[in-house]
Amino acid sequence: MTDGTWVGATAKQIARAVRRGDVTATQVVADHLEQIAVTDPSLDAFRVVRGGEAITEAEKVDDQEDLSNLPLAGVPVAVKENTAVAGLPVWSGSAAVRSAVAEEDHEVVRRLRGAGAVVVGVTRMPEMGLWAVTDDDEVATRNPWDLDRTPGGSSGGSAAAVAAGLVPIAQGNDGLGSIRIPAACCGLVGLKPGRGVVPAELGVGSWFGLAENGVLTTTVSDAALGFSVLAGRDPVKLVEPSRLRIGVSTRPPIVGVRLDEPNAEAVAAASKLLVRAGHDTITADPRYPQSLGVGTLATWFAAAYVESADFDLARLQPRTRQHIRLGKWAMRAGLVRRKQRDAFRERSIGFFADRSIDLLLTPALATAPPLADGHAGGTWRANMSVSMRYAPYAAPWNVAGLPAIVVPVGVRPDGLPLAVQLVGPPDSETLLLAVAGQFEVMNPWRRHAFG
């Protein structure tokens, strides 16, 4: 809590207080709407703020006789703008791809509301979610830790909102790192569930099955709570994991990418924390075949092409139009291959068994988050270079469909957050959360950019 308001409280703290009657959902939401009004003009995290509608929803939560079964009772949440919220268009990053007003909620939004959460607004993303920066022709969304820097992409608006304390939890989705990259940029916990765990179909598709819905939070317990709601499960109870064998790799998936010193040191520090927690660590480099890079690029291009079928291409940004042109070529050339993705998934699952490891530790980013400005109007080549060189470590695990989590581990010399990524085999979301919880206990991080 900050200055007598509920701004800065965790989702878990808010829900407990609302269920007990210590505060009303209406008051909590009003506090956060006031904070959004003051802070968001400098961030541009939100596309739309649902002021009056959110208060009305909060009042309906307060009117319920029994709140005991609402794990997110009264919790203000933000939803990424490519995810349908009844009564709002699905923007997907620009007016050029905005859909008609949605008549009903996406399933993950329905689950959030069913758990007692109140949607205060929808957050910005880059056009069609294609880039690891969040901007459009009008504004660039900014990182609360440094307004000159991007909060990442494509769930950059969601990450900026959580890092600034505008909401305690935000929904995002992750096609090639779009939850984990913003989480790393903004010092948050970002969980990408494994394939088939959370409803994944988005407003403009699911990127050939690569995309997953998840949450961004400031604590592991909130990440566990949000995950359980989206997955339709009973609240996850995190317990101390038994002794694990964890592989450590800093090898970039892309040839020519250089890992900077702060991110290399973050992995070393995280490895030491794992040993302190009683786990064993070994060097274990996954094999990233050249065909993986080619296939991932082709799928990335083709996702834009397939999802642009009903769009006015002339209104799209130049970088997006080039992506779509390459996607059309990739589809016609037969470079988008389900069998290739399935083979990498099987190889990745086998990697854990062959090396007798339970989890894999990697960098979250290769370099500092780029500057916030200048991307939407830039060339396709410049945008590709930025996205791939600073954030290459996330994409392979979308192709493999494996769960992965980003956890803060410190700060860079320039004051921006540092983070690492943990990856696990299928159905290891709870284990990933438990190990992330050990990081949080042993090495607590600053939860918000404002202190």
What are the catalytic residues? 80, 154, 178
Cis preceding-peptide flag for 356 (omega within 30 of 0): no
Which among 66, 60, 109 is positioned nearest to 84, based on CA atoms? 109
Residue that is written with structure tokens 């086998």 in the block? 350
How many whole angstroms separate alpha carbon 200 and alpha carbon 239? 27
Q: How far apart are the first and last CA of the chain?
A: 11
Which among 351, 61, 369 is positioned nearest to 185, based on CA atoms? 369
H/E stretch holding 121 reads strand 118-123
**Token reading at 340:** 């290739």
Contact between 127 and 92 (Cβ < 8 Å): yes
DSSP state letter for 364: S
Contact between 90 and 128 (Cβ < 8 Å): no
Contact between 224 and 182 (Cβ < 8 Å): no
Mapping DSSP onto H, E and C, the string for 407-424 reads: EEEEECCCCCEEEEEEEC
Q: Reduced to 3 states, what is the DSSP secondary structure of residue 298?
A: helix
Give the β-pairing of 118-123 and 417-423.
Answer: unpaired
Q: What is each CA distance from 217 to 189, 272, 386, 406, 438, in whole angstroms?
A: 5, 24, 25, 11, 16
Contact between 406 and 383 (Cβ < 8 Å): no
How many whole angstroms separate alpha carbon 324 and alpha carbon 160? 28
Residues 119, 124, 128, CA angle at the centre, nearest 5°?
A: 120
Contacts of 288 (CB under 8 A, 6+ apart): 251, 253, 254, 396
How many Cβ atoms sit within 10 Å of the Cβ of residue 278? Answer: 12
Q: What size, in residues, is the chain?
A: 451
How many whole angstroms separate alpha carbon 226 and alpha carbon 214? 8
How many whole angstroms separate alpha carbon 215 and alpha carbon 227? 7
From edge to edge, which strands make up the β-sheet containing 212-217?
46-49, 118-123, 76-80, 169-174, 212-217, 189-192, 404-411, 417-423, 359-363, 245-248, 280-283
Q: Reduced to 3 states, what is the DSSP secondary structure of residue 362?
A: strand
